Structure 1
């Protein structure tokens, strides 16, 4: 049986804002995974970061891209409540504390401006680790039930279980 990869330590992990040279690197890493996250998405994130609409935190390990998370300061769903969005850690680097460090940094950033933060999570098994992580971190469902593409789904309405189907959570930070 192969040995588990060594755990990352804070000494070899860095969390920093998105930089001009990141969009191609991140989009390339996502494309290798078969995920549709084009360079244009990260270029838009750069513009939004410069405009103060969104902050993007990028994790690197030994100088190499490892993951990212964004904070949208005005949420399309929660209104003026900040929302953590688009949280990704490369699968080969998961379970090393990178995701927790990104979430810690995002929550600390939000806590400078807000007592509460929102977050959404998908409902199919690919999101299982995130679902468990958010609950362990103290996030609670907002009580509105199933949300599809930003809209509350009424009882008995059928929806597709894809990335647009989410359950939304909030957490009190202070």
Structure 2
């Protein structure tokens, strides 16, 4: 159902991605929070309990709300739930955000929610981009943030 919803809007989110998430949730590595409206899927977010980037700190990852349901508080509700879940285990959480315009709403939301850049600069595929280097501006180009939950 989730994969089909994203395929319908032209996003590549294969069923295998969600099968992996379910296996990771069963193993205690990740939790997946799903939002519905009138029993229809509208968005989700995941919590990876030990982030590779943040040296084991929990990281909120893969946060998505279907475009017709944005600006209705659904994303804020998912983030509230994810942060509350993380706060049960950690005083701080990390998150990354893409850099091009499609991520503009998320960039603004994270800043409004109190996320601050982690100070390591631009990342590409979770590795620092050295000054003077050229990268491809795609979903792997990110700025990473952290937030205190206490």
- Verify same fold: TM over 0.5: yes
Question: Distance between the aligned counterparts of 1:103 and 1:67, measured in 2?
Answer: 11
Report the equivalent of 1:142. Answer: 118
SS of the residue corresponding to residue 84 of structure 1 reads strand
Provide the secondary structure at the position in 2 that maps to 1:145.
coil
Give the 5 Å matches for 1:95-174.
95-174=71-150
Which 4+ runs in 1 deviate beyond 4 A? none
Cα distance in 1 between the residues matched to 2:28 and 2:130: 34
What is the CA distance between 1:33 and its match in structure 2?
1.1
Write the distance in 1 (CA, Å) between the matches of 2:122 and 2:142.
6
**What's 2:61 paired with?**
85
Alignment root-mean-square deviation, CA = 0.4
Q: Mark the runs of 5 or more structure 2 residues left unpaired by the alignment.
A: none
Q: SS at 1:155's partner residue?
A: coil
Query: What CA deviation, in whole Å up to 9, does each residue of 1:153-174 have, x standing for no partner?
Result: 1111110110000000000001
Distance 1:97 1:127 in 2: 17
> What do the CA deviations read for 1:42-95 (whole angstroms, capped 9, x no partner)?
000000000000000000011110100000001111021000000000000100
Q: What's the TM-score once normalised by structure 1's chain length? A: 0.86
Q: Counterpart of 1:54?
A: 30
Cα offset, 1:41, TM superposition: 0.3
Give, in whole Å, the separation in 2 of the partners of 1:41 and 1:68. 13
Unmatched tracts of structure 1, length 5 or more: 1-24
What residue in structure 2 maps to residue 33 of structure 1? 9
- Which of structures 1 and 2 has the bigger CA Rg? 1
Aligned positions, number: 150
Q: Give distance in 2, aligned partners of 1:162 and 1:76.
A: 20
Q: Secondary structure at the match of 1:70?
A: strand
